[in-house]
Amino acid sequence: MSYLRLALCVVGVYSMFLLWAIAQERLSVPFQSIDGTSSDKFNSPLFLGTCQSFLSAIAALAYILLRRKPGQSISQTLGLFDTAKPTSNGVANGTANGSPKANGNGHAPTSDAHKQPHTRFDNKSLLLRYFQCAVFITSAAPFGFAALSYITYPAMVLGKSCKLVPVMIMNVLLYRRKFARHKYLVVAMVTLGITMFMGFGKEKPSKSHKSGNGNGGELSAYTQLIGITYLLINLAIDGATNSTQDEIFARYKVSGQQMMFWINLFCTALTTIISVLPLPYIPVLHPSAAGTTELQGALEFIRTHPSVVVPLAQFALTGALGQLFIFETLQHFGSLTLVTITLTRKLFTMLLSVVVYNHTLTPGQWLGAGVVFAGISVEAWVKRKDVHAKRVIQEKEKAKIKQL
């Protein structure tokens, strides 16, 4: 059953985010104005995030309402403590998230300090965790967009390919979480393989790059240093987000879709507030002109460039559906497995393009692909070995019961 669930998550993430990437690429090129006199680029990333997080919250809410069990209260359905039905130990009876538990991610249960009798404070701490994730996600995106203005696209992809490393580092630093030894080997192999695949490729610099040194697009050491700094900030915040999500699953009995609903609800609130405030020009975080709001600019662009509506809707819808599979993966398999899936998706997409469009790969790229597949094989072999060992133990227990 776990293999079937994992396969479904992989197919869902791959298919939805392939369509999402197509929409994202379309949104990065100019759109013809309604009068045909000009072509302009849609430059409102915060509005994009608001659309996607809003639809994601709606999708998650619809999912958990459809799966709602008879007799569940609204608070239970949304993954909160039900303060109306306390039991003798002070914890809500039949709550949606009771005592801490291991959730299949390999995380041990946390201390009993979180089994508090005051459910009101449990709800507060859980919602604060969700809000923390929303702040991380809202903060990370602008740095990723800004990095592309200072470094080439291959450098950006190369940095993103190493996302497994900050995820593991943040898990260890922030929450003192330990992983099985083979996990470190798998992370190292996948990161090395994707780095080799990207590094030995023949990618050209991003056409959207705006050189800051006036040398016709050549990148100075100072310019690259700024871009790498933005990229490192983006990766560090992403790592903090994933590790915090793992911590929520370890401490509270919530589903992936419940987490998806609350985080996207907070993200929508945050980005909406920022979009309607006439903030001054802030590098990276608020690049819009002073005195204007991003929401005004986005709505005016949609009015004068109606062709942006379809890719914008595709971007938000596929992102929302893709997040259902992402949070399902997070809940049952952990952030390391999720990041492995999202990174290898990029690799498989490139390999598919080789078959479909007859592209050629360098020997170094084939070697890198082999290292990635070897790392995935190690993970599959260890999991298969663990499953077999558990079955042997279960068979022995059944035999003992029959003898009794």
Domain residue ranges of the chain, discontinuous segments joined by + = 1-68+121-207+218-403
pTM as predicted: 0.68
- pLDDT value at position 153? 55
User: Given this model, what pLDDT does residue 258 score?
Assistant: 93
Q: Please tell me whether residue 204 adopts helix, strand or coil conformation.
A: coil
What does the alpha-carbon distance between residue 131 and residue 136 come to, in Å, rounded to a whole number?
A: 9
pLDDT number for residue 60: 94
Three-state SS annotation for 132-177: HHHHHHHHHHHHHHHHCCCCCHHHHHHHHHCCHHHHHHHHHHHHCC
| Calpha distance 133→40 (Å, rounded) | 33
Any idea how long the chain is? Answer: 404
The residues of the chain scoring below 50 in pLDDT are 84-119, 204-217
Question: What is the rounded distance in angstroms from the CA atom of residue 331 to the CA atom of residue 110?
Answer: 16
Alpha helices by DSSP H, 67-152 = 74-77, 119-147
